[in-house]
Structure 1
Amino acid sequence: MRADVYDRLREDIVTGRLETGAPLTELALADRYGVSRTPIREALRRLLQDGLVERFERGMRVRGRSPEEILEIYGVRVVLEGCAARAAAENRSELDLVRIRRAATAMTETDVSDPYAMAAANRAFHEMVWAAAHNNTLLDLLSRLNDHLARYPATTLTSAGRWESAQREHEELVAAIEERRADDAASAAERHMTAARDIRLRMYAEDVH
């Protein structure tokens, strides 16, 4: 039951059903999920460790968004994506390469009028690269970082020209992984995520104003 409550509460935060800054009281959440306060307390403790909730003067709330947080998340993600790409170039199998290319092809067939489909196709591509690294620790860390970014509702892929440039950057990354050029793969992944960071910061600024 505790794992189920944690997963449900985490999903509601990541998807925005519980909005940024929303207070998280044990009593209200116990009523929302139909459980006692004990599993709620445990779920909140875990979510605090995950960085998805924060303490404030009256208890807990959904963690807020800020440009500083964007810089923090991408500062780590740029490095980890580079590590994953390097490891993928070094460790990938032929099956991994097939899966990566299939995910890249799926992106070209995605309905660009559907931002959710675009984000899902992009994540699927990155997950195939992560898997090809054959490093479970990297996979776990990158998945957690992606959950933090999911709290920012708009995908950077809707920014003018980004969908096309992202696919070009993916192709560059795939070629480096295929040819086992580890340094080039790492550099391509880092440039790709740095571009995404800059767009995310611009979108945040535009949304605030």
Structure 2
Amino acid sequence: MRPIMLTPRLMALSRQVPRGARFADVGTDHARLPVWLLEQGVIEQAIATDLREGPLQRARQTAARHGLTERISFRLGDGLAPVRPEEVDVIAIAGMGGETIASILETAAWTRKGEHTFLLQPMTSVPDLRLWLAGHGFSIQREELIREGETLYHTMQARPGPMLALSPGEAWAGRQYRGMDSPWRTEYLTLLLNRTSRALEGLRRSTKPGDAERLEELTERYADLARMKEEWDKWQR
């Protein structure tokens, strides 16, 4: 059997799993990530969970094809309910919306204690997840922006701990720093600026009383994103 291949977004997650980690993949589906990590010798054992029996059965089949059934514990359950905190130190939660990821973390109170590392890859509601993490006892240690096909995906590494408040632009684009390796960031900041500009144009024509507050919010976001874009462009020179 040929070694399993990962898509770019799953490869982005794999790069953040340290060698020897006690790893759990929540919402594992086909179990491609834990199988790859085992085949590459990054980890020795893994836990793979899913809410539904169908995806979990597909995960078992993937592991069986690669001779790894005995090294993965397959567990049926909602979010982190099937996982005990003392079993793991690195947990991937990917392939679902940001609100669902936040709900999974909120339900498991132990996630806000200890030394666990969470590798999060929201498909939607990315700003909402950033703000939720910052307001609920998590610190985003790093982010990676990755392109797969025509879509840009966000991978966040979060741990329990205090975090500085996010500015309006940072909530949408993530925090940036000099020397950050992010080849898609210029494209993404431009995309966010264009979307915000179009939304502002519509709101400026609106006569609805409730839109005034929204207009102020988007104006602040646009100004902060423009500041971040200017700063980023300066760093790239």
Highest RCO, 1 vs 2 (Cα 8 Å, sep ≥ 6): 1
Q: More helix per residue: 1 or 2?
A: 1
TM-score (normalised: structure 2): 0.25
Query: By percentage of residues, which structure has more strand?
Result: 2
User: What TM-score, normalized to structure 1?
Assistant: 0.28
